[in-house]
C-alpha cells in the first residue's frame, strides 16, 4: 500500500470516527437529556431565583393529540438540497430528525400541524437515518454549527445567505415554535 493510500485510509477513518462521535452525541442529547428546548437567540424564561422555567408549561405529548387530518406532510430533502436552500437569499425552514428518536416522534406531528395551519410555509425535513455515509459527511461539513455546537434531534434550522440564522435545538411546544417562526418572519 502506497503512502498516499495510507493517508487516504487515515482520513476516511477519521471522518467516520467524527461522524460516530457527532451522531452518538446527537443521540445522547436527544434521548437522555429529558428536557425540551427553547430557541437559541432569545432569552429563556426564569423566575426570581434565576431558575430556568422555560420548560415548565410544555406538554411533551402535545403532538399525540393532533389528528392526522390536521397534519400536512413535510418536504423530505437531500443534503445537497439543504446546501442549496442554505445558500439562497430567501429564508428556509429545515428540521433534522432521526428514525427511532422519541423526541422527533413527538415533534413531527407538531411540525406537520404547523405546515397544515400555515399553507404557504414549506417545512423541509432531513432524516439522518436515511443518509449515506457521504451525505452524512456532506451535512457535517456544510456548516461549522454541526461540529462546533452541541445539538441533537430534532433540530430546527432557519437558513439563509449560506448561514444558519437561528435554531431550535430539541423538542419544543407548538406555541413556542410558532413564536419562533413569527420572529423569523416565516409566518404571520
Position 45 in a domain: yes
Domain that holds residue 47: 3-183
CA angle 31, 32, 36 (to 5 degrees): 75
Inter-residue contact 90 to 48 (CB < 8 Å): no
- Which three three-digit cell numbers place residue 185? 418572519
Position 188 in a domain: no
DSSP character for 58?
-
pTM: 0.71
- Which three three-digit cell numbers place residue 103? 423526541
Q: Residue 100: which residues within 8 A CB-CB, separation 6 or more?
A: 129
- Rounded CA separation 81/57 (Å): 36
- Rounded CA separation 112/58 (Å): 18
Q: Identify the pLDDT of residue 152.
A: 92
Short-list 68, 71, 93, CA closest to 82 = 93
Which single residue is written with the C-alpha cell 409566518? 187
- Backbone dihedral angles phi then psi of residue 117, each to the nearest 5 degrees: -75, -35
What CATH number corresponds to the domain at position 71?
Answer: 3.40.30.10
Q: Residue ranges of the chain with pLDDT lower than 70?
A: 20, 22-58
SS3 75: strand
Position 79 in a domain: yes
Q: Identify the pLDDT of residue 169.
A: 93
Beta strands in 23-79 (DSSP E): 75-76
Position 107 in a domain: yes
Query: Which CA distances in Å does 60 have to 1, 100, 159?
Result: 54, 17, 26
Number of domains into which the chain is organized: 1
Q: Identify the pLDDT of residue 56.
A: 52
Position 112 in a domain: yes
Amino acid at each position: 500500500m502506497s503512502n498516499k493510500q495510507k493517508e487516504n485510509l487515515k482520513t476516511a477513518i477519521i471522518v467516520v470516527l467524527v461522524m460516530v462521535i457527532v451522531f452518538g452525541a446527537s443521540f445522547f442529547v436527544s434521548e437522555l437529556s429529558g428536557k425540551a428546548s427553547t430557541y437559541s437567540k432569545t432569552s429563556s424564561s426564569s423566575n426570581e431565583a434565576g431558575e430556568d422555567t422555560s420548560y415548565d408549561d410544555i406538554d411533551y405529548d402535545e403532538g399525540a393529540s393532533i389528528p392526522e387530518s390536521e397534519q400536512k406532510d413535510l418536504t423530505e430533502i437531500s443534503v445537497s438540497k439543504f446546501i442549496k436552500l442554505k445558500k439562497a437569499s430567501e429564508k428556509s425552514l429545515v428540521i433534522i430528525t432521526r428514525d427511532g428518536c422519541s423526541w422527533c416522534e413527538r415533534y413531527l406531528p407538531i411540525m406537520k400541524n404547523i405546515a397544515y395551519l400555515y399553507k404557504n410555509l414549506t417545512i423541509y425535513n432531513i432524516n439522518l437515518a436515511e443518509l449515506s455515509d457521504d451525505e452524512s459527511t456532506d451535512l457535517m461539513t456544510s456548516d461549522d454549527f454541526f461540529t462546533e455546537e452541541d445539538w441533537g434531534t430534532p433540530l430546527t434550522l432557519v437558513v439563509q445567505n449560506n448561514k444558519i440564522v437561528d435554531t431550535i435545538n430539541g423538542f419544543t411546544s407548538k406555541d413556542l415554535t410558532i413564536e419562533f417562526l413569527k420572529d423569523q418572519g416565516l409566518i404571520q
